[in-house]
């Protein structure tokens, strides 16, 4: 045998054991009760940083989504509710932007920080059901799930539910196991926290209630103080918000009824099919890649058999049954409800409802998770993240060349905000107090203006409470109507009524991205001076 052949074989021998040692190290860390939390926390932080960088690249030339701008606007005042939704998402945004600058990158960092917290909580949750190795595998599956990366770019109440709903399920599993007064208090508080994020959390609360009634061990749980203490704690914790709801005449429910009630059966059917297909498509990626990671045997042609019969000490089947029931109910319930109750079901409503799916799959006792599976899936996650980071400038360049004049994505609302701030300050030598415009314009203007004027939406019956028409007339405001928008006629009619003596002008904004011009947008501007 030649010297070169011996050297090559020795090099391979050194290389393969090093990968094997890395695999063993990862498995030992993931399986260690103390080191496991540090591993998951570090993984979540790295995931958040990587995907913040990716999103900053991918969203070049775009303003932040209006949901993000809306949450920022809510956070300017810590109220008990904001018209459409309960207040927690606004409170979180308010605290975040006290600590970080009001910029695009910090809004994406907020979204990713939210999801990183969700990953760590989902690990704690998984630990109630499976062993440490499987729990880490679940977390990496979630990191591959598009909701936790590509689709997680906009911070809003739906995204924040990926913190509060895992907390709620974790609290339920804890209460189901311990059946103590303390665990009941924590369950009630977690339920209140979920409801203060979005009323949609009632779907998860209902699923938990059904799980408690269906589970074979239901009598032990229902005879304990835990569920009844939880209900009392939930009601007490919600009292301030319930009082606010009464004061505003239950306006969030008016908003939901006005916005999401449908009568056309064909439209309802189409939306339900779209909702189901959208969420199945998103779940397919982590499910398929997870299955490949379980089967793949490095440097071997034959895959591992990852299914086996017999008892599995790595799964708590009693708690796994709770997870299976809850996930089944929240998967089937909303589309069935939409069909029966005739309401508009948005695909985004599925964002917080499927975080249990990876755990439900990994908790199947027949599934075997070998050490190498952790390395396979973690490597897959890292490769995907680094490849997307590397090619993100090319993705953006392609989108800008193809779509920069399509839709509202690239309209220069941030430039409009800065120009209007300067126009107000030149005229009145004071902070711009209120912007009157529809949500897709007014909220981004609030975000990008250095003065962060309070948003006022024309003809909106569910006022956010950040300002009022009377206050706007007293302090003065700038009204904005976008030319070419389908709401232009309504907007101008409102301005004619409430800004009859305003100074009028037309502004045109346009940005250039990578040397390419974006859409030129004309805005009808109404400047109403402060009352004397």
Tokens representing residue 398 in the block: 């392609």
- Examine the pLDDT at 467 and tell me if it is beyond 90: yes
| pLDDT score recorded for residue 5 | 47
- Examine the pLDDT at 478 and tell me if it is beyond 60: yes
| pLDDT score recorded for residue 13 | 45
Alpha-carbon gap, residue 479 to 495, rounded angstroms? 7
The burial class, CB within 10 Å (0-12 / 13-18 / 19+), for 19 is: middle
Average pLDDT over residues 451-468: 91
Ordered DSSP codes for 467-519:
--HHHHHHH-EEEEEETT-TTHHHHHHHHHHH-TT-EEEEEEE--EETTEE--
- Give tens-digit pLDDT for 43-74: 999 999 999 999 999 998 889 999 999 999 99
CA distances from 429 to 425, 466, 505 (A): 5, 23, 19
- Give tens-digit pLDDT for 251-290: 888 888 777 888 888 899 999 999 999 999 999 999 999 9
pTM of the shown model: 0.92
Indicate left, alpha or beta for 131 from its phi (over 0: left) and psi (-120 to 50: alpha): beta
Tokens representing residue 266 in the block: 């064909």
Q: What backbone torsions phi and psi does residue 408 show, to the nearest 5 degrees?
A: -100, 0
| pLDDT score recorded for residue 463 | 83
Closest listed residue to residue 167, CA positions, set 204, 141, 213: 204
CA angle 135/141/145 to nearest 5° reads 140
Alpha-carbon gap, residue 309 to 330, rounded angstroms? 29
Neighbours of 408 (CB within 10 A): 15
| pLDDT score recorded for residue 1 | 43
Q: Can you give the residue ranges of every domain in the chain?
A: 19-62+103-158+250-388, 413-528
Average pLDDT over residues 477-484: 95
Closest listed residue to residue 529, CA positions, set 497, 506, 499, 494: 499
- Give tens-digit pLDDT for 11-54: 444 544 577 888 888 988 999 888 999 999 999 999 999 999 99
- Examine the pLDDT at 8 and tell me if it is beyond 70: no
- Give tens-digit pLDDT for 119-174: 999 999 999 999 999 999 999 999 999 999 999 999 999 999 999 999 999 999 99
Closest listed residue to residue 64, CA positions, set 413, 518, 406, 421: 413
- Examine the pLDDT at 499 and tell me if it is beyond 60: yes
């Amino acid at each position: 045998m030649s010297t070169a052949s011996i050297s090559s074989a020795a090099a391979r021998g050194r290389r393969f054991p090093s990968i094997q040692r890395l695999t063993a190290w990862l498995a030992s860390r993931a399986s260690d009760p103390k080191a496991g939390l540090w591993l998951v926390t570090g993984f979540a932080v790295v995931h958040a940083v990587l995907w913040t960088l990716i999103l900053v690249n991918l969203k070049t030339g775009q303003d932040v989504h209006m949901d993000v701008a809306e949450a920022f606007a809510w956070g300017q005042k810590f109220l008990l509710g904001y018209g459409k939704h309960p207040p927690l998402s606004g409170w979180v945004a308010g605290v975040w932007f006290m600590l970080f600058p009001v910029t695009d990158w910090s809004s994406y960092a907020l979204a990713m920080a939210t999801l990183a917290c969700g990953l760590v909580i989902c690990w704690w949750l998984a630990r109630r059901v499976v062993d440490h190795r499987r729990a880490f595998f679940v977390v990496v599956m979630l990191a591959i799930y598009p909701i936790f990366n590509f689709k997680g770019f906009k911070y809003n109440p739906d995204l924040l539910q990926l913190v509060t709903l895992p907390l709620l399920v974790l609290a339920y599993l804890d209460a189901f196991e311990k059946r103590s007064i303390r665990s009941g208090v924590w369950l009630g508080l977690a339920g209140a926290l979920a409801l203060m994020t979005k009323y949609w959390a009632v779907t998860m609360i209902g699923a938990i209630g059904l799980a408690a009634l269906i589970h074979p061990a239901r009598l032990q749980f229902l005879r304990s103080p835990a569920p009844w203490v939880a209900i009392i704690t939930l009601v007490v914790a919600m009292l301030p918000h319930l009082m606010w709801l009464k004061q505003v005449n239950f306006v969030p429910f008016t908003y939901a009824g006005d916005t999401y009630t449908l009568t056309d059966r064909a439209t309802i059917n189409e939306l339900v099919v779209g909702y189901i297909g959208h969420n199945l498509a998103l779940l397919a990626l982590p499910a398929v890649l997870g299955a490949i990671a379980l089967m793949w045997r490095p440097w071997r042609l034959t895959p591992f058999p990852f299914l086996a019969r017999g008892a599995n000490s790595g799964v708590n089947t009693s708690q796994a049954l709770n997870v299976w029931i809850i996930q089944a109910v929240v998967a089937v319930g909303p589309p069935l409800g939409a069909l029966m109750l005739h309401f508009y079901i948005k695909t985004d409503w599925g964002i917080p409802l499927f975080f249990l799916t990876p755990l439900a799959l990994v908790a199947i006792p027949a599934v075997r998770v070998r050490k190498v599976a952790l390395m396979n899936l973690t490597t897959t996650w890292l490769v995907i993240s680094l490849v997307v980071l590397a090619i993100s400038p090319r993705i953006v360049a392609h989108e800008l060349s193809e779509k920069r004049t399509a839709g509202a994505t690239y309209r220069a609302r941030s430039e409009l905000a800065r120009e209007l701030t300067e126009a107000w300050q030149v005229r009145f030598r004071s902070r711009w107090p209120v912007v009157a415009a529809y949500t897709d314009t007014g909220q981004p203007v609030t975000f990008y203006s250095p003065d962060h004027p309070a948003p006022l939406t024309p003809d909106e019956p569910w006022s956010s409470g950040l300002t009022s028409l009377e206050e706007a007339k007293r302090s003065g405001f700038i009204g904005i109507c976008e030319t070419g928008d389908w709401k232009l006629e309504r907007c101008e009619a409102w301005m004619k009524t409430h800004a009859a003596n305003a100074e009028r002008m037309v502004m045109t904004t346009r940005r250039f991205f990578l040397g390419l011009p974006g859409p030129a947008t004309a805005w009808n501007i109404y400047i109403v001076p402060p009352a004397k």
